[in-house]
Amino acid sequence: MNGSDLTCDAFLGGLVQLWQPRRGYRAGVDPVLLAATIPAVSGQRVLELGCGVGAAVLCLGARVTGLTLTGVEREATYAELAARNGAGALEVVTADIADLPLMLRQRQFDHVLANPPYWRRDASIAASDPTREAALGEQTPLALWVEVAAKRLAPKGYLHFIHRAERLPDLLAALPNDMGSIEVLPIAARVGRAAERVILRARKSGRADFCLHAPLILHRGDAHVDGDQYCQKVRDALRIGAALPF
């Protein structure tokens, strides 16, 4: 992919610069919100499954210094861009999550995060662009994403997924028995609107009760108008890399 096929886009107000394809799948708000919710501390190990160009894991690394960052990406073009975007701070493994190399299967991580493809293709139409389809169309079952993420966690490690709200039952059903302290953060566009996204957090060997949090509201006002309408804490997460605690 040559330079004319790429754009370099600023995330977190320029703290993170991402090269990504001009056409096809492009990182948006969801991976940034996911990264903002992860309670990582310096010295911990982080794995992102399906990292794309590295948006989520690199935004997390910009907020919390001293992390060991690893990403797995099946599409070679995106894996190459993730490595370029990471500039040596991100280890990128080109692999399918259904067939991870032994060197990854022998390692454990304090945090595993994922922003899996959102759309089941038995109930939706495939994207015409192959890279968009790879990112948006569910080819690997969601349950396998959860299984692989849980296996890679160290004891007391945290799993984080962002997905469409209607897939929450599938996420919960896929959690292995050793995953507890389950929390769900719904994400709604405006006050009074139904949640369109959820962030799921679970902890290996966690014992806390299930917690359904109040929704994170993205925008101020009742309807869209031109201009930045993000609520303050969401704006801070998107623009300056602030945390979004559950």
In a domain, 232, yes or no: yes
Q: What digits encode the pLDDT tens for the residues 30-52?
A: 999 999 999 999 999 999 999 99
In a domain, 212, yes or no: yes
In a domain, 246, yes or no: no
Residue 2: band (very low, low, confident or very high) from pLDDT cuts 50, 70, 90: low
Q: What digits encode the pLDDT tens for the residues 140-166?
A: 999 999 999 999 999 999 999 999 999
Whole-number pLDDT of residue 86: 98
In a domain, 161, yes or no: yes
Instruction: Please give the sequence-ordered ranges of beta strands (E in DSSP) within 144-178, or none if there are none.
Output: 153-164
Using CA atoms, how far residue 168 sits from 111, 195, 212, 241, in Å, is 20, 11, 12, 26
Q: What is the mean pLDDT of residues 206-222?
A: 95
Residue 130: band (very low, low, confident or very high) from pLDDT cuts 50, 70, 90: low
Residue 137: band (very low, low, confident or very high) from pLDDT cuts 50, 70, 90: low
In a domain, 13, yes or no: yes
CATH of the domain at 33: 3.40.50.150
In a domain, 170, yes or no: yes
DSSP string covering 66-123 = T-EEEEEESSHHHHHHHHHHHTTSEEEEE--GGG--HHHHT--EEEEEE----EETTS
Range of the domain at 105: 3-239
Q: Which residue has the tokens 């993000």?
A: 230
Whole-number pLDDT of residue 232: 96
Using CA atoms, how far residue 12 sits from 9, 216, 225, in Å, is 10, 19, 23
Q: What digits encode the pLDDT tens for the residues 73-128?
A: 999 999 999 999 999 999 999 999 999 999 999 999 999 999 999 966 465 454 45
Whole-number pLDDT of residue 228: 72
pTM: 0.90
What is the CA 189 to chain-centroid distance, rounded?
Answer: 18
In a domain, 245, yes or no: no
In a domain, 19, yes or no: yes
3-state secondary structure of 10: strand
CA torsion 23-163-64-149 (nearest 10°) is: -110
Tokens of 56: 């989520």
Q: How many domains does the chain have?
A: 1
